[in-house]
Amino acid sequence: MIVGEQKTLDEIMGLLGDAHKVLVAGCGTCVTVSFAGGEKEVGILASQLRMRSKLEGHPMEVDEVTVQRQCEWEYIDPLAPRLGEYDVILSLACGIGVQAMNERFPDSITLPGVNTVFLGMPVEQGIWEERCQACGDCILGLTAGICPIARCSKQLLNGPCGGSQNGVCEVNPDIPCAWQLIWERAVKLGREEWLLEIQPPKDWSKSRDGGPRKIVRDDLRLADME
């Protein structure tokens, strides 16, 4: 899932500037699960904004709404009739939701209240870790099911750098060395040979480096759209 983290109240206040009427718009999917922008976080942030703006002497009128998914037209279209009342919409969705709102409602300004941080998962209550970089060319079949693109600080493809020691990355002892994990798993599976072949340079054109990506599935498209 997409893991997000709410921006600080100070930064959000700065973004809102002198807006009088604000709609805080949550999303019921990924950011709800990562406790950054679901219905509950929308409620708390809206209260904080009301109190803070009042204390600062320019009280804002803050409304709340949370849609199932801010990244699909069908879920955000029902918001259209009421958006004209607001100076600003503060989206607590990921960057996709924020852009969907701006694209669908070009006459309104939708600002981000959340930083979209990574594609990952909760490894325990309150801790999320990155797992995927959406590089567009999955190599997990060669790396014992552990992704060095997302989890090695240098995205190495042929084994650990010289900074791996005692199982941790040179960047930070809180980061497990991905290649240590890969090696251990390969050994456990008796598949060391996976790691002995030289992996060629990666085709980054399939990643973001090739420009913004797009998938077209003709088998799924509706006939009248062609």
Partner 1 sequence: MDMTAERTDEYKSGSNLEKILRAGHFAVTGELGPPQGADAEVIHRKAQLLAGVVDAVNITDNQTAVARMSSIASGVLAMQDGLEPVIQMTCRDRNRLAMQSDLMGAYALGARNVLCLTGDHQSFGNHPTAKNVHDLDSIQLIQMVRRMRDEGVFQNGEQIKAGVPRFFIGGAINPFGDPFEFRPYRLAKKIAAGADFVQTQLIYDIPRFREFMKRVVDMGLHEKVYILAGVGPLKSSGMARYMRDQVPGMIVRDEYVDRMKGAIAGIPKEDKKARRKAWREMGIKICIEQIQEIMEIEGVAGIHIMAVEWEAAIKPIVEGAGLLPRPQVE
Binding site for partner 1 (CB under 8 A): 153-172, 177, 179-180, 183-184, 187, 192, 195-196, 198-202, 204
Q: How many Å apart are CA 150 and CA 167, to the nearest integer?
A: 17
Q: How many Å apart are CA 212 and CA 116, to the nearest integer?
A: 17
Query: Minimum distance from CB of 10 to partner 1 (Å)?
Result: 20
Nearer to partner 1, 48 or 180 (CB): 180
Pair of tokens at residue 53: 């703006």
Question: What Rg, from alpha-carbon coordinates, does the chain have?
Answer: 22
Phi-psi label, residue 65: left if phi above 0, alpha if psi -120 to 50, beta otherwise: beta
Query: Minimum distance from CB of 163 to partner 1 (Å)?
Result: 4
Nearer to partner 1, 1 or 132 (CB): 132
The full length of the chain comes to 226
Query: Minimum distance from CB of 200 to partner 1 (Å)?
Result: 7
Query: Minimum distance from CB of 209 to partner 1 (Å)?
Result: 8
SS3 per-residue string spanning 137-163: CCCCCCCCCCCHHHHCCCCCCCCCCCC
Nearer to partner 1, 91 or 164 (CB): 164
Nearer to partner 1, 86 or 179 (CB): 179
